């Protein structure tokens, strides 16, 4: 890697008063967000374009980021919604045949502040021990106005998350040979969810998050996909009511991440905020039916409380091998199943892509029984 000379200083200030001094890359200025960490060794461009990171300052635990550059083909959405980006070291001379740009240029073009050269291990330990907390990245020396900054940091909250990332109109994507029609509710969806469906012969209608059950039913879908997305799932009461109504139509439903949480709330269960969440591409998940353990990609700060599920209505299907939290639900009373992890997982492990096959199998049975 070429030596980065004359990098301007930048700082991270946490809500607990800790200050980390490092160097700037990307844009300049000041940005407040919820500081989180992700353990992925690769997939940084997917992380930066995943709408689920809306309102958050993302820290990479892997020490070198940017070595294979950036290419638009791997983006999970058209833009980035992170509030800031923190790495130990970034590569300004990437090498890959698909490389189109550097990570520094990517951040500058999207006005995202980056911080490098700090002790990311110390920061990660802080977040693991104390839990995720708000913070600010700034290129202005915070020493003279630290108390004012801390007041702003502590008052910050991620609000209207889904409304900020969802689309405003319906978009249709049709493969060469379409066998099924899927309505994909866009809570901040990742493109590889859509691509995973299209690869299995699904015409995909991506619809805004607040599309009514009546509008969805009029589209005559064979399946309904509930996407990932950002924020506290309980902040979406209208969507929860819509899902409760949609579940009564008998149409197969498959939820991922936020979609998993929203479906659980719609069926009367509860969710909770995790201390520091699950973010990375190496989370072990146990399928309780088969007993197999899968390596999964995840990005979430909330989880469904498994014990809050009505046993007559649903059962926990997957659990996290590290902390035992609920990672999947199979419903008994409605035609639906959901998972907390990402079976589309680009970039990340594809161990659980079989769940998309189960979804298409359910759609085939539904079409036969129409």
Put residue 252 in one of left, alpha, beta given phi > 0 → left and psi -120 to 50 → alpha: beta
Q: Could you tell me the two tokens for 87?
A: 């790495």
Residue in 68, 18, 7, 20 with CA at minimum distance from that of residue 43: 68
φ/ψ (deg, to 5) at 187: -95, 10
Dihedral sign of CA atoms 94, 99, 105, 110 in order: negative
Residue in 214, 219, 213, 207 with CA at minimum distance from that of residue 180: 219
Q: Which of 46, 76, 203, 344 is catalytic?
A: 344
CB 236 within 8 A of CB 319: no
Concatenated DSSP letters of 257-300:
THHHHHHHHHTT--EEEEEEEEEEEEEEEEETTT--EEEEEEEE
Residue in 185, 316, 165 with CA at minimum distance from that of residue 255: 185
Identify whether 257 is a catalytic site residue: yes
Which residues make beta-bridge pairs with 326? 319
Q: Which of 257, 300, 318, 327 is catalytic?
A: 257
Concatenated DSSP letters of 5-53:
-SPPEEEEEETTS-EEEEEEEEB-SEEEEEEEEE--SS-HHHHHT-GGG
Residue in 233, 267, 65, 75 with CA at minimum distance from that of residue 162: 233
CA distance 255 to 224: 8
Identify whether 342 is a catalytic site residue: yes
CA distance 186 to 165: 8
Tokens 């130990």, residue located: 88
Q: Which of 260, 278, 300, 342 is catalytic?
A: 342
Identify whether 344 is a catalytic site residue: yes
CB 256 within 8 A of CB 355: no
- Active site amino acids: 257, 342, 344
């Amino acid at each position: 890697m070429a030596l980065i000379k004359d990098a301007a200083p930048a700082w991270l200030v946490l809500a607990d008063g800790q200050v980390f001094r490092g160097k700037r890359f990307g844009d300049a200025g000041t940005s407040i967000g919820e500081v989180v960490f992700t353990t992925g060794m690769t997939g940084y461009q997917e992380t930066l374009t995943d709408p689920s990171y809306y309102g958050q300052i993302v820290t990479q635990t892997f020490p070198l980021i940017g070595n294979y550059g950036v290419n638009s083909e791997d983006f999970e959405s058209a833009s980035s919604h992170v509030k800031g980006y923190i790495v130990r070291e970034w590569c300004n001379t990437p090498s890959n045949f698909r490389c189109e740009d550097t990570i520094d240029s990517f951040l500058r073009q999207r006005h995202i502040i980056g911080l490098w050269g700090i002790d990311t291990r110390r920061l990660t330990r802080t977040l693991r021990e104390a839990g995720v907390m708000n913070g600010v990245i700034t290129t202005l020396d915070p020493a003279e106005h630290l108390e004012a900054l801390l007041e702003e940091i502590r008052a910050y909250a991620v609000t209207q998350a889904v409304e900020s990332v969802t689309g405003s109109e319906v978009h249709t994507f049709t493969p060469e040979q379409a066998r099924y029609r899927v309505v994909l509710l866009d809570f901040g969806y990742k493109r590889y969810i859509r691509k995973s469906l299209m690869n299995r012969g699904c015409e995909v209608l991506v619809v805004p998050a607040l599309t009514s059950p009546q509008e969805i039913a009029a589209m005559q879908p064979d399946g309904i996909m509930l996407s990932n997305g950002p924020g506290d799932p309980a902040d979406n009461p209208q969507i929860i009511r819509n899902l409760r109504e949609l579940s009564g139509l008998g149409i197969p439903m498959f939820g991922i991440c936020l979609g998993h949480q929203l479906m659980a709330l719609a069926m009367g269960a509860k969710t909770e905020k995790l201390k520091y969440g699950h973010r990375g591409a190496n989370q072990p998940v146990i399928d309780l039916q088969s007993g197999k353990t899968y390596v999964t990609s995840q990005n979430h700060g909330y989880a469904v409380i498994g014990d809050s599920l009505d046993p007559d209505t649903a059962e926990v299907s997957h659990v996290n091998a590290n902390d035992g939290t609920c990672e999947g639900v199979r419903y008994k009373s409605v035609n639906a199943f959901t998972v907390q992890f990402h079976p589309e997982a680009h970039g990340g492990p594809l161990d659980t892509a079989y769940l998309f096959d189960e979804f298409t199998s359910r759609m085939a049975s539904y079409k036969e029984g129409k």
